[in-house]
Amino acid sequence: MEVTDGIPHRFEGKTVLVTGAGTGFGSALAVRAGQEGARVGVHYNRSREGAEATVERIRGRGGEAEVFQADISSWDAVKAMADGVDRQFGKLDVLVNNVGDIATEQMSWRDVTQELIDRVIDVDIKGTLYMHHEFGSRMLERGGGAIVNIGSTVIVRGSPRAPQYAAGKYGILGLTKSYANAFAPTVRVNTFAPGFMETESTLSREDWNTGRREKLIAATPAGRIPPPEELAATALFLATDEAAHMYGVYMIADGGYSMLGG
């Protein structure tokens, strides 16, 4: 395995698609995959400008990247994107299901509406299922691949702010285990659960800037909240050959925030 500037090329010659890669953790994942030698598909729904900026970051480091647009809550749109990825790359080796709706504008369970419930479930559950079904079945037919679902530690503690978000992320565990069984041993499916990260979205939240950040740091053994770039390589580990015996795993990286007793 080649190593350049201290970064291993774990994805040399492979193709990686990251959903929701126009901003935040998705962008960090896509850039890191590019640094590690992958040809990268940068998916977005509405943030085209962000996706194009991610592509330029990858290309600026000598990597290859292309933009793909789709509303993943539409099965037809996911099918069309899968066809587009096939045309552009020929095949897909790694799918990172990063995109998710966390209802950031909702500050309390009292603020929940049917629209907010539907929006989160349509993307987090239905959309993630469509992605597994369309891309995973093609990986299966071609003889190999890996899927990494980006979950959350919210399933450990729940979310009094947005219960539908916790339900959506918990549902991703069900999808992970189901497709890990269905696709094994040809395609591996696992979930990576990051803790809080200082993304653009998090930094702009009202509660983050009115004391919540300090409370979380105090409750985190690591004593800090990392930027998304710090966790990108950890998440991508699940798609590497080093994780070849990992199926249906839920792997947490949150600085110890969710530590529970035995």
Residue 258 lies in a domain: no
In this prediction, residue 253 carries a pLDDT of: 93
CATH, residue 100: 3.40.50.720
Residue 177 lies in a domain: yes
Cα–Cα nearest to 39, from 58, 7, 19, 14: 14
Report the distance separating Cα 198 and Cα 236, nearest Å: 19
Residue 260 lies in a domain: no
Residue 261 lies in a domain: no
Residue 90 lies in a domain: yes
DSSP state of 245: T
In this prediction, residue 103 carries a pLDDT of: 59
In this prediction, residue 6 carries a pLDDT of: 79
Report the distance separating Cα 157 and Cα 90, nearest Å: 41
Residue 142 lies in a domain: yes
Q: Which of 44, 130, 165, 257 is catalytic?
A: 165
Q: Give me the number of domains the chain comprises.
A: 1
**Predicted confidence (pLDDT) per residue in 33-78, tens digit:** 999 999 999 999 988 999 999 999 999 999 999 999 999 999 999 9
Count of C-beta atoms within a 10 Å radius of residue 110: 8
Q: Where in the sequence is the domain holding 207, given as residue range(s)?
A: 3-252
Question: Are 20 and 44 spatial neighbours (Cβ–Cβ below 8 Å)?
Answer: yes
**Predicted confidence (pLDDT) per residue in 112-163, tens digit:** 788 888 888 889 999 999 999 999 999 999 999 999 999 988 877 777 777 8
The residue-averaged pLDDT of 153-181 equals: 86
**Predicted confidence (pLDDT) per residue in 184-223, tens digit:** 999 999 999 998 887 776 666 666 677 778 888 888 899 9
Q: Does the annotation mark 44 as catalytic?
A: no
Report the distance separating Cα 173 and Cα 249, nearest Å: 9
Residue 262 lies in a domain: no
More confident residue, 68 or 104: 68
The confidence band for 102, taking pLDDT boundaries of 50, 70 and 90, is low
In this prediction, residue 216 carries a pLDDT of: 83
Residue 108 has pLDDT above 70, yes or no: no
More confident residue, 90 or 111: 90
Considering all CA atoms of the chain, what is the largest pairwise distance in Å, rounded to the nearest integer? 52
Residue 242 lies in a domain: yes
Backbone angles phi, psi at 16, to 5 degrees: -125, 130
Count of C-beta atoms within a 10 Å radius of residue 224: 11
Residue 20 has pLDDT above 60, yes or no: yes
The confidence band for 262, taking pLDDT boundaries of 50, 70 and 90, is very low
In this prediction, residue 98 carries a pLDDT of: 95
